[in-house]
Amino acid sequence: MYASNLLKEGMIITLSESAVASSQGRAIPISQIKPSLLARLLWRFVRKVPYGIGLRSPYSMEMAIRECGALRVLIAAIIGGALRMLGIRGVFYRIAGEQAAMIDAAGTSPLYPDRVVLGPRKPDETAESISRALNGLPVAIVDVNDIGGSWVVGASSNISSSLRKTIEEVLRDNPAGQGDELMPIVIIEPIQSDIMLMR
């Protein structure tokens, strides 16, 4: 493995969810995506934000529909839109599901300017498999961004719920970087009571 010469007991390996998904063939060229009528309608209602595209594209919206189901996405859009008018945000993704929340639109990554990157398939099982290949070192698959979002989307069985929270807190300032910095692996090494990050 790329980082094998750095690994030792006690370390926690974190992997970018986009990198894992891409290795599973889940970076889909937009040339292979034909947005449905529903996708062409719904993407226009996604709030424009300065930190990314998300589902504000007919192509990424279409992939959300394929991943989560048209009815579920439609219900999420109706309820989420109604509550957004009341100042309550984020309901769409809570209803549509985590796979919708993990979709990266084409143009988000310099590596994939023409591809929609889905969330990883079976992230807990994938993390467990990687952990076994690394002699049982804990492995977490994470979705982190530059605005303080940090989420463990999958973890090996030797990562407890409290350790998940610690990993999310440690990665909150996004040491892997964003955009063309493209650091798919971050190694967390405990040093006494502190935690040091290695790239």
Q: pLDDT tier at 173 (50, 70, 90 boundaries)? A: confident
Q: Report which DSSP code applies to 197.
A: E
Q: What is the model's pLDDT at position 126?
A: 97
* Per-residue pLDDT reduced to its tens digit, 14-52: 999 988 999 999 999 999 999 999 999 999 988 876 556
Question: How far is it, in rounded angstroms, from Cα 101 to Cα 25?
Answer: 18
Count of residues making up the chain: 199
Alpha carbon 118 to chain centroid distance? 8
Pairing of strands 185-191, 27-29: unpaired
Question: Which residue intervals of the chain bear CATH 3.30.1330.100?
Answer: 4-18+120-198
Q: Which CATH number fits domain 4-18+120-198: 3.40.1190.20, 3.40.50.150, 3.20.20.70, 3.30.1330.100?
A: 3.30.1330.100
Please list, in sequence order, all residues whose beta carbon lies within 8 angstroms of the beta carbon of residue 64, skipping any fewer than 6 positions away.
Answer: 39, 55, 73, 96, 99, 100, 103
Does this model's pTM top 0.75? My answer is yes
